[in-house]
Amino acid sequence: MLRVTTTDEAQTITLKLEGKLVGPWVREVRHVWARTATDSERRYVVDLSSVTFIDNPGRVLLAAMCKRGARFIATDCLTRTIVDEIQREGSA
């Protein structure tokens, strides 16, 4: 199960994800992202502080979001490690 909450404030849109970013939930987040991330002038933040697990397709989605300029909030060690790897790969 995954909950996605979108917050639109000033020049920043935040997607807060809660639960497991796996399987069918990856597709749902991809759809939300496609509907939301349409303005190149806005900043996009993906809050992963309540995500408990990310599978490979979820990681691929986060990498695509990163390439489009999304910034991530990650608080636990595993999620921070995944985000760090994605950001390093994106800058290589």
Residue 51 belongs to a domain with what CATH number? 3.30.750.24
For the chain, count helices (H), then strands (E): 3, 4
- Residue 64 has phi, psi (to 5 degrees) of -65, -40
For tokens 């695509």, the residue is 64
CA separation for the pair 14, 29 (Å, rounded) = 12
Per-residue confidence in pLDDT tens, the chain, 92 aa: 899 999 999 899 999 999 999 999 999 999 999 999 988 889 999 999 999 999 999 999 999 999 999 999 999 999 999 999 998 987 66
Quote the number of domains for the chain: 1
Q: What is the pLDDT of residue 90?
A: 73
Q: What is the pLDDT of residue 92?
A: 60
Amino acid (one-letter) located at 84: D
The domain in which residue 68 lies consists of 2-91
Burial of 50 (0-12, 13-18, 19+ CB in 10 A): middle
